[in-house]
Amino acid sequence: MALPKYTEPHYRIWHYIYLTICGAVFFFLIAPLFVIFPLSFNAEEFLSFSDGMKSLDPDAFSLRWYKDMIYGTKNPWGLAAKNSFIIAIFATIGSVILGTVAALGLSSRHMPYKGLIMAVLISPMIVPLIISGVAIFFFMAKAGLAATHTGIVLAHIILGTPFVVITVTATLSGFDHSVTRAASSLGSDPVNTFMKITLPLILPGVISGGLFAFVTSFDEVVVVLFLAGLENTTIPIQMWTGLREQLSPTILAVATCLIILSTLILVTAELLRRRSERLRGINR
């Protein structure tokens, strides 16, 4: 942001102070993520920079923690990753289907008690996770689903649907309903109309809701802590145990992989958001 030439000196100073503050905040936001990166290549078993690393000695860097993550005998990361992906994928599918269908109903202007129902549908997002965890645990324990994949998937569907409902309702708010009426007037049945007309148009919203649901499930630890048995361990659970008990640099290798994954998700989500905004712009 260039300042006009006539700016008085004290405003000029103030402007640079403002930019410095902004820079510091951005640094505070993003820098912690980049500490993990170099430390995950540490050749030693410490979670701090060794003298060798500070002087950029190549011997101080190694891939041993990545090897340990993949081949380590005692390391449960393989099982955890498998569980995490299975649970997150099924939870995403469930959330997307239930959430999208519900959002379609909610955006209809005929929907009765809209406010109340919306409040119930997004409540899992508002209620603190610890309370959701307790409540869901009571349900799963009664239903005999504690310490099963099914139980965790259902729990994550509960937590993931609000995101799908919100993103899809937002997409539908800019949706021109006359196109579906046109389709029905041309003889299309509702299912066909949905698959051929509505879904392609709201797809960006559906996918970004799905991404939220995926990340929610993939990153979720509080509810899983209550529900999971040894067999259902997930990546967040392993990280949680690791951070509490034996802090080993393997965790940093895992964390680096997770940061790369989240970068990919971020890029996808951003592209989708822009596409969706462009589409909505055309509709207006």
Site for other proteins in 240-279 (CB under 8 A): 240, 243-244, 247, 251-252, 255, 258-259, 262-263, 265-266, 269-270, 273
Q: Which is nearer to other proteins, 201 or 205 (CB)?
A: 205
Q: Which is nearer to other proteins, 201 or 251 (CB)?
A: 251
Give the per-residue contact string, 88-127, with other proteins (x = CB under 8 A; - = no).
----------xx-xx-xxx-x-xxx--x-xxxxxxxx-xx
Query: With CB under 8 A, what is the number of residues at the site for other proteins?
Result: 91
Mark the segment that binds other proteins (CB under 8 A) among 55-63, 85-93, 196-204, 236-244. 236-244
Q: Is 26 in the site for other proteins (CB under 8 A)?
A: yes
- How far apart are CB 118 and other proteins at their closest, in Å? 6
Among 154, 202, 224, 253, binds other proteins (CB under 8 A): 154
Site for other proteins in 43-72 (CB under 8 A): 46-49
Q: Is 199 in the site for other proteins (CB under 8 A)?
A: no
- How far apart are CB 109 and other proteins at their closest, in Å? 8
Which residue type sits at 23? G
Q: Which is nearer to other proteins, 4 or 73 (CB)?
A: 4
Q: Which is nearer to other proteins, 58 or 128 (CB)?
A: 128
